[in-house]
Amino acid sequence: MFRIGDFSRIARVSCRLLRYYDEISLLSPHYVDGDSGYRYYSAAQLPRLNRILVLRELGLSLGQIARVMEDNLSPSELRAMLLLRRSDVERAVEAESDRLRLIEVSIAQIDNNGELSTDDVIMRSEPAHLFLSLRRTVDSFAHARVLIRELHEAVHGRVHSSALGSLVAVAHATEFEADLFDVEIGFTLTETVPVAPTGLILRELEPMHTAAVCVRVGPPEHAHLVTGRIGAFVEASGYELAGSNREFFLQRPRLDHTEDWVVEMQFPIRKRRVIPAQGQAGTLTAPVQFE
């Protein structure tokens, strides 16, 4: 048998780790001297220790390792556990890959512009919201402002102001037409409204699992300056547009002072799909374009 120091040299693990495995009953010494308290290990324990180390390297938790070691799991049970672990690793790799692309985009921005803008595009998720809205097809940005007035009039005296959250505009059109907007404008709700006022829609505003977002300060006529940055970011990051874009007003807008509007523009995105080479089976619909 070997004292703990000698066993650590043979096993190539630290004494501290061996003591910890003893504390959690994952690998106890073969013998402990009652007088001195010295721990002694046997070479016969090396296979168990090596299996623990392999399972730890695979990313299993100590609780999972203990279950594998003590419950004598069948190969199919162990395989299922490793499949779950593989999924976790794949998600982590994907997230790191996304982060690497963002870093590359930022480096390219510094190379091209000499600086990293603090008001640039970022990626994040957007949760679902309870949404009270009206939807119209309008012919100009100015008419969209009329819709905001109409919305305020519809909720005034019918919905308590404490229930009203952010003002949101949703662009439902599948392509941009300067004189034809299919737009939905409404309030997110901070509490349930039992019945929608006449002419309004009460629904769930769907979550965005991944969105490219950027803040715009100024009138809607300048939106193209921000959407252009979002478009460049989406393309450079290996994504494509994936649904209706939204504008979240970060403060209640003064309708006669659009130059003061502060709006977070949100575009849902997804990983860019590979277009099959000519002659291969399958087709790919072109990504939807938004303003």
Q: Name the most confidently modeled range: 102-106, 167-171, 287-291.
A: 167-171
Q: What is the pLDDT of residue 261?
A: 86
Q: Which two tokens stand for residue 9?
A: 């040299």
Q: What is the CA radius of gyration of the chain?
A: 29
Mean pLDDT for the chain overall? 83
Q: Are 96 and 150 in contact (CB under 8 A)?
A: no
Q: What is the pLDDT of residue 182?
A: 87
Q: Are 213 and 227 in contact (CB under 8 A)?
A: no
Q: What is the pLDDT of residue 287?
A: 37
Q: Are 202 and 131 in contact (CB under 8 A)?
A: yes
pLDDT (tens digit per residue) in 68-127: 888 777 788 888 888 888 888 887 887 777 667 667 656 765 776 666 554 578 888 899
The fraction of the chain above a pLDDT of 70, given in percent, is 86
Does residue 233 carry a pLDDT above 80?
Answer: yes
Q: What is the pLDDT of residue 36?
A: 86
CA-to-CA separations, 187 to 29, 166, 184, 222, in angstroms, rounded: 65, 6, 10, 23
Confidence of residue 173 (pLDDT cuts 50, 70, 90): confident
Higher pLDDT, 112 or 48: 48
Q: What is the pLDDT of residue 15?
A: 93
Does residue 62 carry a pLDDT above 50?
Answer: yes
pTM above 0.75, yes or no: no
pLDDT (tens digit per residue) in 119-161: 578 888 899 999 999 998 887 666 778 889 999 999 998 998 8
What CATH architecture is 2-72?
Orthogonal Bundle (1.10)
CA-to-CA separations, 268 to 33, 127, 230, 247, in angstroms, rounded: 65, 12, 11, 12
Confidence of residue 255 (pLDDT cuts 50, 70, 90): confident
- CATH T-level topology, domain 122-271: Multidrug-efflux Transporter 1 Regulator Bmrr; Chain A (3.20.80)
Residue 179 to residue 141: CA distance in whole angstroms: 9
- pLDDT average, residue stretch 156-177: 87
Residue 44 to residue 53: CA distance in whole angstroms: 16
